[in-house]
Amino acid sequence: MATPTPEEVASFYETAGGEEVFHRIVARFYEEVAKDEVLRPLYPEEDLGPAEERLRLFLMQYWGGPHTYSERRGHPRLRMRHAPFAIGPIERDAWLRCMRTAVDEAGLSDQHRRQLWGYLEMAANSLMNSWT
Ligand code: HEM
Protein backbone atom coordinates (compact mmCIF):
# COMPACT_ATOMS: atom_id res chain seq x y z
CA MET A 1 0.00 0.00 0.00
CA ALA A 2 1.37 3.45 -0.83
CA THR A 3 -0.75 6.58 -0.81
CA PRO A 4 -3.68 6.31 1.62
CA THR A 5 -7.17 7.28 0.50
CA PRO A 6 -8.69 10.49 1.92
CA GLU A 7 -11.04 8.36 4.07
CA GLU A 8 -8.12 6.47 5.57
CA VAL A 9 -6.29 9.68 6.38
CA ALA A 10 -9.40 11.25 7.91
CA SER A 11 -9.86 8.46 10.44
CA PHE A 12 -6.25 7.53 11.15
CA TYR A 13 -5.38 10.16 13.74
CA GLU A 14 -8.26 9.31 16.07
CA THR A 15 -8.41 5.57 15.57
CA ALA A 16 -4.64 5.06 15.89
CA GLY A 17 -4.63 6.78 19.29
CA GLY A 18 -4.24 10.54 18.70
CA GLU A 19 -1.34 12.72 19.79
CA GLU A 20 0.01 10.19 22.27
CA VAL A 21 0.82 7.68 19.54
CA PHE A 22 2.56 10.26 17.35
CA HIS A 23 4.49 11.48 20.37
CA ARG A 24 5.71 7.96 21.09
CA ILE A 25 6.69 7.19 17.49
CA VAL A 26 8.58 10.42 16.84
CA ALA A 27 10.35 10.40 20.23
CA ARG A 28 11.55 6.85 19.55
CA PHE A 29 12.60 7.82 16.02
CA TYR A 30 14.81 10.64 17.34
CA GLU A 31 16.37 8.34 19.94
CA GLU A 32 17.57 6.29 16.97
CA VAL A 33 18.63 9.37 14.96
CA ALA A 34 20.74 10.54 17.92
CA LYS A 35 22.91 7.42 17.65
CA ASP A 36 22.90 7.07 13.86
CA GLU A 37 26.24 7.83 12.20
CA VAL A 38 24.66 8.69 8.84
CA LEU A 39 21.76 10.83 10.05
CA ARG A 40 23.00 12.63 13.15
CA PRO A 41 25.55 14.82 11.29
CA LEU A 42 22.80 16.05 8.93
CA TYR A 43 20.83 17.73 11.70
CA PRO A 44 22.10 21.29 12.04
CA GLU A 45 21.07 21.85 15.66
CA GLU A 46 22.67 20.24 18.67
CA ASP A 47 19.29 19.93 20.37
CA LEU A 48 17.07 17.50 18.45
CA GLY A 49 14.02 18.57 20.48
CA PRO A 50 12.76 21.26 18.06
CA ALA A 51 13.20 18.94 15.05
CA GLU A 52 11.29 16.25 16.93
CA GLU A 53 8.41 18.64 17.54
CA ARG A 54 8.28 19.72 13.88
CA LEU A 55 8.11 16.14 12.60
CA ARG A 56 5.50 15.18 15.20
CA LEU A 57 3.27 18.15 14.37
CA PHE A 58 3.66 17.52 10.64
CA LEU A 59 2.66 13.85 10.91
CA MET A 60 -0.27 14.65 13.20
CA GLN A 61 -1.56 17.18 10.68
CA TYR A 62 -1.02 14.88 7.71
CA TRP A 63 -3.00 12.07 9.35
CA GLY A 64 -6.03 14.18 10.22
CA GLY A 65 -5.08 15.78 13.55
CA PRO A 66 -4.76 19.47 14.48
CA HIS A 67 -3.16 21.88 12.00
CA THR A 68 -0.63 23.27 14.45
CA TYR A 69 2.24 22.47 12.06
CA SER A 70 0.98 24.83 9.35
CA GLU A 71 -0.04 27.49 11.87
CA ARG A 72 3.59 27.62 13.00
CA ARG A 73 5.53 26.74 9.84
CA GLY A 74 3.21 27.54 6.92
CA HIS A 75 2.86 25.19 3.96
CA PRO A 76 5.02 22.07 4.54
CA ARG A 77 6.94 22.23 1.19
CA LEU A 78 8.96 19.25 2.32
CA ARG A 79 11.07 18.89 -0.82
CA MET A 80 12.19 22.50 -0.51
CA ARG A 81 12.87 22.17 3.23
CA HIS A 82 15.02 19.10 2.61
CA ALA A 83 16.99 20.69 -0.24
CA PRO A 84 19.88 21.77 2.06
CA PHE A 85 20.55 18.13 2.99
CA ALA A 86 21.98 15.61 0.50
CA ILE A 87 19.54 12.70 0.72
CA GLY A 88 20.66 9.69 -1.31
CA PRO A 89 19.83 6.00 -0.89
CA ILE A 90 22.08 5.70 2.17
CA GLU A 91 20.37 8.57 4.01
CA ARG A 92 16.91 7.39 2.97
CA ASP A 93 17.64 3.87 4.19
CA ALA A 94 19.00 5.17 7.49
CA TRP A 95 15.90 7.34 8.00
CA LEU A 96 13.60 4.42 7.25
CA ARG A 97 15.60 2.11 9.52
CA CYS A 98 15.15 4.49 12.49
CA MET A 99 11.50 4.98 11.64
CA ARG A 100 10.93 1.24 11.27
CA THR A 101 12.06 0.67 14.85
CA ALA A 102 9.78 3.44 16.09
CA VAL A 103 6.72 2.27 14.14
CA ASP A 104 7.22 -1.41 15.02
CA GLU A 105 7.39 -0.61 18.73
CA ALA A 106 4.37 1.71 18.75
CA GLY A 107 1.77 -0.98 19.39
CA LEU A 108 -0.36 -0.10 16.34
CA SER A 109 -2.85 -2.51 14.79
CA ASP A 110 -1.57 -4.31 11.69
CA GLN A 111 -3.74 -2.17 9.47
CA HIS A 112 -2.55 1.10 10.98
CA ARG A 113 1.06 -0.04 10.86
CA ARG A 114 0.83 -0.99 7.19
CA GLN A 115 -0.94 2.24 6.30
CA LEU A 116 1.57 4.43 8.11
CA TRP A 117 4.55 2.49 6.80
CA GLY A 118 3.36 2.63 3.19
CA TYR A 119 3.15 6.40 3.46
CA LEU A 120 6.54 6.83 5.15
CA GLU A 121 8.32 4.72 2.53
CA MET A 122 6.70 6.65 -0.27
CA ALA A 123 7.51 10.01 1.39
CA ALA A 124 11.14 9.05 2.08
CA ASN A 125 11.60 8.01 -1.57
CA SER A 126 10.06 11.25 -2.78
CA LEU A 127 12.47 13.35 -0.67
CA MET A 128 15.60 11.90 -2.24
CA ASN A 129 17.56 14.64 -3.97
CA SER A 130 21.00 13.07 -4.52
CA TRP A 131 22.10 9.97 -6.37
CA THR A 132 25.84 10.09 -5.84
C1 HEM B 1 13.27 18.23 8.71
C2 HEM B 1 16.35 14.83 7.20
C3 HEM B 1 12.66 12.25 5.42
C4 HEM B 1 9.58 15.37 7.48
C5 HEM B 1 14.41 17.53 8.44
C6 HEM B 1 15.75 17.96 8.78
C7 HEM B 1 16.61 17.01 8.36
C8 HEM B 1 15.83 15.96 7.75
C9 HEM B 1 18.12 17.00 8.51
C10 HEM B 1 16.09 19.28 9.50
C11 HEM B 1 15.79 19.15 10.95
C12 HEM B 1 14.92 20.25 11.46
O13 HEM B 1 15.50 21.24 11.88
O14 HEM B 1 13.68 20.14 11.45
C15 HEM B 1 15.62 13.84 6.55
C16 HEM B 1 16.19 12.69 5.86
C17 HEM B 1 15.16 11.98 5.34
C18 HEM B 1 13.93 12.68 5.72
C19 HEM B 1 17.67 12.34 5.74
C20 HEM B 1 15.28 10.71 4.51
C21 HEM B 1 14.53 10.45 3.44
C22 HEM B 1 11.50 12.84 5.87
C23 HEM B 1 10.17 12.32 5.65
C24 HEM B 1 9.30 13.20 6.23
C25 HEM B 1 10.09 14.28 6.81
C26 HEM B 1 9.85 11.03 4.91
C27 HEM B 1 7.80 13.18 6.30
C28 HEM B 1 7.08 12.11 6.23
C29 HEM B 1 10.30 16.42 7.95
C30 HEM B 1 9.72 17.60 8.55
C31 HEM B 1 10.78 18.44 8.88
C32 HEM B 1 12.01 17.74 8.50
C33 HEM B 1 8.23 17.88 8.75
C34 HEM B 1 10.68 19.84 9.50
C35 HEM B 1 10.37 20.85 8.38
C36 HEM B 1 10.26 22.27 8.92
O37 HEM B 1 9.16 22.66 9.31
O38 HEM B 1 11.28 22.96 8.93
N39 HEM B 1 14.50 16.32 7.82
N40 HEM B 1 14.26 13.80 6.44
N41 HEM B 1 11.42 14.03 6.57
N42 HEM B 1 11.68 16.54 7.94
FE43 HEM B 1 12.96 15.19 7.18
Q: How far is the CA of 46 from the centre of ligand 1 (A)?
A: 15
The set of residues, in sequence order, having a beta carbon less than 8 Å from that of 22 and lying 6+ positions away, is 56, 59, 60, 63, 65
The Cα angle at residue 2 between residues 5 and 121, in degrees rounded to 5: 135
Angle in degrees, 0-180, between the axes of helices 18-34 and 89-104, rounded to the nearest 10: 130
45 CA closest ligand 1 atom index? 13
Q: Is the CB of 96 under 6 A from ligand 1?
A: no
72 CA closest ligand 1 atom index? 37
pLDDT of residue 71: 98
| Class of domain 6-126 as given by CATH | mainly alpha
Q: Of 71, 73, 59, 68, whose CA–CA distance to 13 is shortest?
A: 59
Q: Is the CB of 12 under 6 A from ligand 1?
A: no
Which residue's CA is the nearest one to ligand 1's atom 23?
Answer: 124
What tens digit of pLDDT does each residue of 48-77 get?
Answer: 999 999 999 999 999 999 999 999 999 999
What tens digit of pLDDT does each residue of 76-91 get?
Answer: 999 999 999 999 999 9
Q: How far is CA 93 from CA 46, 83, 105, 124, in A?
A: 22, 17, 18, 9
**ipTM value greater than 0.85:** yes
